Amino acid sequence: MKDTRTSATEETTTDNKTTGALTDATGTPQVEKSNPKPNALGRAWQFLKTAWGEHSYIFVFLVVLAVYAFTITYNGKSFSAGHISAILSSQNTVVVGTMAIGMALVIITGQIDLSIGSSMVLCTGVTVVVFNVTNSIILTVLAALGSGLVCGAVNGLLAAYVKIPPFIVTLGTMLIYRSLTLWAVRATPREITGSGSSQFSLKSDNSAYQALRMNFGTSSLKLGGFSIPYVSMLFLACLILFVFIATSTKYGKAVYAVGSNEKAARLSGINVQWIKASVFMVTGLLVGVASIIQASKVGNITPASSGRSYEMYAIAAVVLGGIAMSGGRGNILGVLFGALSYAAIDFIIVSIPALSADIQDTFQGLVLILVIMVQTAGPVLRERFRRGPKAVAATV
């Protein structure tokens, strides 16, 4: 009898295995439970979780843009494509945004660069002088990139190889670069500076002035009723290039590795010192590009006042773009939306008639602090999102 029962159990088990059925310890077939398909609400929630976790900077920009549109409408005007074009061509987008790409790389490696505003002033001064003297666009571009590279190399070598904290290094060079530019503009003859003793200005009687300033710096590509400034296209080209570098090259992966875990990166064979120095050099090159945009778009630079707080604006654009100040995390593409968001915030503040110009920087500072607070709370919110809507509601 025992053998018969054993054989029957074995036969049942064999049959169940053959048919794919599950059995318990006694051999009784069990019904396999299938996971129910999520309904429309569940799919929408899953989409929002993924989108917010990976592209929160887009939501931030859309919210800011909606507030800007409401402000324009509230003031009795009609929000149009011209307002979006103005955001695309603003200083906070094309000049600060270009430098913010480099700032993003520096921050991803766990460092900071406070000198980019002063570097831009110095490089623009060099750019204008070379243009006024040579009347050559090619030499002007090379001078802008070369001077930017030198400024970035000084920061990188002192921070990475001399081991001075980047905050201290760039704080010092911030003062040095602007001071040198102030000294140079006052010591250089008017025929070279193109203006008085307080400003570098492109000479309008140069034959290349029309091509650099009028055909490039202040012109746009018309697409129906919408126009894209050429300087904005240069910024977008730089952004696309560095998105590719950050996501698809060994160098880009090394930058993230150094910022995420410097010790592990060193053990894996990455030259940590070179990576930390090189991001400052790359930032310097991008400062050179921003100098070209500044010279061609505005036509001049005033060392005493131009570029003030640009390093803060660049940091704000980086943070609004979702890049972690702690390093190792973030998407370079977010810099685009961060720069656009901060430019739109600036337009919102300016468009409020009752707001005095003396108090506008206060609101910009508050926005920067608020953004940092939101980024700090981001990981907590993402963890709540993973638990579902009830967990999020429980925290409110």
Most confident stretch, 42-56, 80-94, 168-182, 382-396: 168-182
Phi and psi, residue 222, nearest 5°: -85, 125
DSSP state of 323: -
Rounded Cα–Cα distance for residues 394 and 392 (Å): 5
Question: Does 21 score more than 70 pLDDT?
Answer: no
Phi and psi, residue 111, nearest 5°: -120, -175
Question: Does 371 score more than 70 pLDDT?
Answer: no
Span 28-49, average pLDDT: 58
Residue 76's pLDDT is 80
Question: Does 358 score more than 50 pLDDT?
Answer: yes
Q: What is the rounded average pLDDT for all residues in the chain? A: 83
Residue 2's pLDDT is 46
Span 241-250, average pLDDT: 95
Question: Does 395 score more than 50 pLDDT?
Answer: no
Handedness of CA 135, 137, 140, 142 (dihedral sign): negative
Where do the structural domains in the chain lie, given as residue ranges?
A: 80-373
Q: Which helix (H) or strand (E) holds 207?
A: none
Encode pLDDT of 199-240 as tens digits: 999 999 999 999 999 999 888 888 777 788 899 999 999 999
**What DSSP letter does each residue of 83-107 carry, written as one string?**
HHHHHHHSHHHHHHHHHHHHHHHHH
Encode pLDDT of 181-205 as tens digits: 999 999 999 989 988 778 999 999 9
pTM of the model: 0.81
Tell me if residue 30 falls in helix, strand or coil: strand
* pLDDT band for position 125 (cuts 50, 70, 90): very high
**Percentage of the residues of the chain whose pLDDT score is greater than 90:** 49
Phi and psi, residue 228, nearest 5°: -115, 115
Residue 26's pLDDT is 55
For 80-373, CATH number out of 3.50.4, 1.20.120, 1.10.10, 1.10.3470 equals 1.10.3470
